[in-house]
Structure 1
Amino acid sequence: MKRTEGVGCIAWGVEMRLPLILAGPIVRRATPEKVWVWLATRELLDPPHLMLFTNGNSPSSPGPVKASIEYYPVAVADNLWIYMLCAIPETPLDRGRTYFYDVRLNGTRPLFKSDDYRQFLLKGNRLPTFMLGARGNNNLHALYGSCRKLHGPNPDMMKAAEEILQNASDDNRPQYFFMGGDQVYADDVDNQLLTLTRPLRDALYGGKRETIPGLSPAVLGDTIDRSEFLESFFTSTHMPHHLLTFAEYAATYIMAWNGDLWDPLLKAGRFSDLGSADFSNRIIGQRVLDGAQGAKSARRVLANTICYMIFDDHEVTDDWFLNPEWQLNATKFDSGLRILTNGMAAYWAFQGWGNEPAAFDETYRATIGGFAESRGKGTQNAWSALIKTDWSFVAPTSPPAVFLDTRTKREASPTVSDIDRVGTRVIEGISLSTRRNKEAPRLLDGDERARLSGLIAKHATSGDPLIIVAAAPIFGFPPMEWVQRKIGGVSATTADLEGWSSNPRNFIDAFDLFLDAGSSPLIVLSGDVHYGFEVVGRISTTSHSVPFLQLCSSAMKNEVIGVDKFFFRIISLFGESVAAFGFWDLKENGKTDGPIAYTATNDNANDFFNRRYKSSPYYLMQTQFIKRSGRRSVKQLIERQNNLGELVVRGQQVSHRHWYPASSSGFSARSFKNWNTGSWPIADMVGAIKSIFGR
């Protein structure tokens, strides 16, 4: 196909021309047997071949890897094609070795121009690179993060990720990037940013505007407050410029991952000097400029690490599928259903497809692509396909990483007994808690728990580590969760009662899933909460126990500021570094959703439950929070700045650190914390539990 010079669209009297490559390349699912690369283009390409090389820096002898190729294009707009490119080597690739890749049209002509390479190559390289996890079992080096809002507070930690990659040697480079949710923000959008993307949005559909059923076309204006038109079915507290159309969602992803597209937009109209003093909101302007620089870093990072991604809620809308009631209300409105479908279709095209490309057959691709390209035809069919999709998946790393969908497979968890309604009270001298807000969902329904159990059983090995990627921390920061529960008594959406602790039944679900795996340790990576922390702990029952690490990195570009940041500092002073809780699963008459009683463990409490609930399943959770190195007080247990997590697993050794902004132009890391699976700092309490219960 003949390459054209670009497709133009006029906005503010200025014409924007779309480049051929809109976003990417991004290395997605990769194993020694098969490598997938994602790409977004302006038009259908001549057959693109993904080429692999063992020595991509030698122009005379690039060392091609013999491989068969596959490619799958999907048109999602007039001028937007999403590609999954695949290379299947004749001989499996070596782990721990750097490979280079390129895309050639018909296997001969380069797709990328010299200016394209400039935008995504690491210094010193002629081609983009990737590396599979190093040789040997349990050998992994990964970056992870979440919550990247383009106009969020500076700096964008994608710049830190690039700095790490640029400075790393081959034997010390991160091979993977685990993206844990809120890769873009669809609800909390600054109006200047929404206006900035208008030429791109219009160009994707060749100037043809989308409409949303039930909403006047005027609502799609850049400056009108959209909140009042959405509050009947959405519950976000930041909706004045909520994304509505597929083009708006798609443009936001493209802007988040291709910083060079910002340049013509920034030069257009009144955005010629976004950060100048006369800009209507200079602080936001500077943050948007930082987002543009972060997007340039993001393109290099995603092109040179193997990336796996899972949604949280802001990719679609805040509180998305908070609980079954929320879902029923939002989808009964035609406008609500269309917006949700737009958001999820964009997630599939830009994120979900690459996690497990083979899971989406031609019919699925045609359904979602046809919906998006037609600007909304077949909404119900597309929505049905999207909502029935199993979004949880296992990344083929070593140790394996299980990414949890804790949003689309939720179920109600009603109170069922007097003990479940009491909140906290004293019974026979023991302070007993059951605190279950009726609005708080069970994050994994029965079908999803069964499916995850099968996945974990298939991929986990007893005695070896297992990584779980969950959007929100499973083992969170107790003082903050206590505040959330108190606020939740007034308003579930204000408190954002979607964490695991908001419904104690979620803890039991997690315990049941992970204990049987026998992993050592369980490593949980999370985000969502806009602060970072590290927890070492152990889950125990009367028969066995599992050591765990809860590692949280949040946010990449959305740290808490102002009064809220001061509140975070104060609340962190109330955290205890060591805690232990006992949980009793009080199944009533064989019901699987009975109440959960829990309390701080002590001899009196154990004696009470031994007498009253001896036949009920018992779980013990012990946690120890790690002090943030560099803090002046031992009780400063959370990282309040923008941050990026780094995880290294080498056999029995597990290491972790947070990168954070150390100055206006550089980044530093809290020193590596190291744990060894053979000498876990939290003792195994199985023997003690058996002695307490006499079994």
Structure 2
Amino acid sequence: MGRQAFIHLIDLQLEADLPLDTWIDYDLRVEGEPGGIAEWAPHLLYEGAGYPDFVVRSSIDHLLHGSCRKPHHCAAEGLLCVDRLLADTQDPLQRPALLMMSGDQIYSDDVAGPMLRAIHALIERLGLFDEQLDGAVVDDSASLYRHPASYYQRADLLPALKSNDTLRERFFGGASKPVFTSSTADNHLVTLAEVVAMYLLVWSPTPWTLIEPDMPQLDAEELERYAKEQQLIDNFVAGLGGVARAMAHLPCMMIFDDHDITDDWNLSANWEETAYGHPFSKRIIGNALLAYLLCQGWGNNPDALNELVGRAHALSGEAVRNDHWLDSTSQNTLIDQLLKFQQWHYVLPTHPALVVLDTRTRRWRSESNFNHPSGLLDWEALCELQQELIDHESAIIVSPAPVFGVKLIEAIQRVFSWCGYPLLVDAENWMAHRGAANVILNIFRHSRTPGNYVILSGDVHYSFVYEILIRHRSGSPHIWQITSSGIKNEFPRRLLDTFDRLNRWLYSPRSPLNWFTKRRLMKVIPRTPEHSKAGERLWNSAGVGQVFFNDQGQPTRINQLNANGDSPTRFVEPEEYRDERSGNDRGFLENNRETRDSHR
């Protein structure tokens, strides 16, 4: 990736299967260097250990999940919950089977000034590849890094043409979002080197020891903002040793969401036309997707991605021969191939099966209005999903956006979409597109798809749990929507409290308003966070979700591990539903189980 930067993708072919449910130590030695991990990365070892270790679990009876890790958010680091949990685990059977990160592992579109300065210092220190840029006021990456607009003013990098106004507003400046928050894309990453450096700096403490970033030229207002962000980044960096240690001891699976690439990525057909129709924005998206391939995607499904990695390797080889400049034509060709690729999703052959959805690149575009939000999966992708699920008794589905969200917030999103402004409120939810919503609900109802579904989601910056039953249907599935967000991000507290209270009033399980939604044929039972003080259903605390499963793939305990150090928050069934479950629902579930067994 540069004069002193290399990515090693290691695929170790074993002569025999690894043992299950026991500690497995491992080491990694670097050619020409003495010793192993204990010498060159001692921060990866727990106290008293000679090597890092991992456990291959025979089934998923316990996992961790989360999304949305924003380095300069004021919330504490959620991944340190994982580090503390692993440090206290003495029995291999108590180890989580995996950590599932369901999107926004980086924020390439929302970058603090000190982080961008560190990125540029690391690019120089490692000699990361340069590249030509088309459609901007700068000709190449070297000019970009020196340009006065490089910090807090990147929208000004577009030529001042009338045709660029829409792109500048939607892609770089960010749309004003008065309902939720403001998009801050004024330090949006542009080059491949910037995104790769970002990955290095958010996953490991080591790159920070190689650089000493100086202060860029800023005006008084920008200097004040920079100083505030510097404190947040310093706190973030202080926890990176524990983050890296946790990831060195636990299988980590990932899938992108929008901020890994850019905010509202592929939100609508009109968004796609705007972003992909300009060479500069297309290059930005492509660079982020190429970095995702190398830094996240390949480890999920090497066999499906090896061909693309080979093409990236060829691009790298050309750069080495070209004085460490990427060939622009070859780079654009690879980006075209990445944008057309349709195998980012994957399935793990575990028990229960883990089905990870790509809800970003295979969208069901609205044919009636190109401004309306696209469905999160198109017809073909949904058909493939159904085939993956058939004849499984249970399944864990990872959908970055919740399938069953908070109805009040979805209603607000729908109103803005009707008015032609989906970008104002991030109008991305499964129910926003009638076709995709109907098909996913029909998949759940199919007699040969699983009897127990657990849907793991993130994205929304708060956590909640819903239990869903389909009314008046023999053999109905049992569905749990479990949302944990964010790892290092939170929703505006007062606004979420207001939404939570209004949603409880307007869309309680017995509310007649439910008959005007797609949930009218469902019974949705919200779980209550154990630490809630006034019946809140939405938990607003950065951290990581923790789910325990029984042999049937049903969740038996659902926690949110709080990054602020508070004890875990357990999601419990409200008292008013417990007596009801002991009667009608218990009989319903027993009949459901018998009916599904007879189908098989």
1:400 paired to 2:321: no
Q: Verify the 8 A CA contact 2:561 2:568 in the aligned structure 1.
A: yes
**Matches for 1:20-35 after TM superposition, within 5 Å:** none
Q: 1: distance between equivalents of 2:458 and 2:542?
A: 12
Which residue in 2 is equivalent to 1:466? 395
1:554 paired to 2:485: yes
Which residue in 1 is equivalent to 2:500? 572
Which residue in 2 is equivalent to 1:201? 123
The letter of the residue matching 2:439 is: D
Deviations 1:483-518 (A, max 9, x none): 222333441111111111222333212123333353
Using the aligned pairs only, state the percent identity. 25
1:659 paired to 2:570: no
Q: Verify the 8 A CA contact 1:582 1:599 in the aligned structure 2.
A: no
1:623 paired to 2:524: yes
Which residue in 2 is equivalent to 1:478? 407
Q: Verify the 8 A CA contact 2:376 2:430 in the aligned structure 1.
A: yes
Greater displacement, 379-388 / 279-288: 279-288
Which residue in 1 is equivalent to 2:255? 310
Distance change in 2, residues 1:262/1:673 (3 Å) = farther
Task: Give 1:438 shift.
Answer: 5.6
Distance change in 2, residues 1:330/1:295 (3 Å) = same
Q: Which has the higher contact order (CA 8 A, sep 6+)?
A: 2
Which residue in 2 is equivalent to 1:128? 52
Distance change in 2, residues 1:396/1:153 (3 Å) = farther
Q: Verify the 8 A CA contact 2:269 2:370 in the aligned structure 1.
A: no
Which residue in 2 is equivalent to 1:89? 14
Which residue in 2 is equivalent to 1:26? none
The letter of the residue matching 1:249 is: V
1:510 paired to 2:440: yes
Determine helix, strand or coil for the equivalent of 1:385. Answer: helix
Determine helix, strand or coil for the equivalent of 1:378. Answer: helix
* Contiguous gaps of at least 5 residues in structure 2: 159-164, 175-182, 217-222, 320-324, 593-600
Task: Give 1:477 shift.
Answer: 1.2
Deviations 1:352-407 (A, max 9, x none): 1010111123x422322334655344133212321223111112332111110011
Q: 1: distance between equivalents of 2:282 and 2:246?
A: 34
Which residue in 2 is equivalent to 1:54? none
Distance change in 2, residues 1:112/1:582 (3 Å) = farther
What TM-score do you get using the length of structure 1 for normalisation? 0.71
1:293 paired to 2:238: yes
Q: 2: distance between equivalents of 1:317 and 1:683?
A: 47
Distance change in 2, residues 1:489/1:324 (3 Å) = closer
Determine helix, strand or coil for the equivalent of 2:528. Answer: coil
Q: Verify the 8 A CA contact 2:301 2:346 in the aligned structure 1.
A: yes
**Matches for 1:178-197 after TM superposition, within 5 Å:** 178-197=100-119
1:358 paired to 2:303: yes
Task: Give 1:674 shift.
Answer: 8.7
1:671 paired to 2:553: no
Task: Give 1:197 shift.
Answer: 1.9
Q: 1: distance between equivalents of 2:584 and 2:199?
A: 41
Determine helix, strand or coil for the equivalent of 1:82. Answer: coil
What TM-score do you get using the length of structure 2 for normalisation? 0.82
Q: 1: distance between equivalents of 2:23 and 2:582?
A: 31
1:367 paired to 2:311: yes
Q: 2: distance between equivalents of 1:103 and 1:600?
A: 52
Higher strand share: 1
Select 1:414's aligned residue among 356, 362, 367. 367
Q: 1: distance between equivalents of 2:386 and 2:108?
A: 32
Task: Give 1:334 shift.
Answer: 1.1
Distance change in 2, residues 1:446/1:111 (3 Å) = farther
**Matches for 1:489-638 after TM superposition, within 5 Å:** 489-490=418-419, 491-516=421-446, 517-539=448-470, 542=473, 544-560=475-491, 564-576=492-504, 578-579=508-509, 598=517, 601=520, 620-634=521-535, 636-638=536-538
Distance change in 2, residues 1:565/1:496 (3 Å) = same
Task: Give 1:447 shift.
Answer: 2.0
Determine helix, strand or coil for the equivalent of 1:394. Answer: strand
Select 1:381's aligned residue among 314, 319, 333. 333
Task: Give 1:129 shift.
Answer: 1.1
Q: Verify the 8 A CA contact 1:84 1:357 in the aligned structure 2.
A: no
Deviations 1:576-615 (A, max 9, x none): 384279999xxxxxxxxxxx984674xxxxxxxxxxxxxx
Distance change in 2, residues 1:672/1:95 (3 Å) = farther
Higher helix share: 2
Q: 2: distance between equivalents of 1:660 and 1:203?
A: 36
Q: 2: distance between equivalents of 1:544 and 1:438?
A: 39
What is the count of residue pairs matched by the alignment? 540
Q: Verify the 8 A CA contact 2:298 2:305 in the aligned structure 1.
A: yes
Which residue in 2 is equivalent to 1:177? 99
Which residue in 2 is equivalent to 1:613? none
Distance change in 2, residues 1:204/1:582 (3 Å) = farther
Q: 2: distance between equivalents of 1:671 and 1:260?
A: 35
Distance change in 2, residues 1:281/1:77 (3 Å) = closer
Q: Verify the 8 A CA contact 2:465 2:571 in the aligned structure 1.
A: no
Q: Verify the 8 A CA contact 1:324 1:411 in the aligned structure 2.
A: no
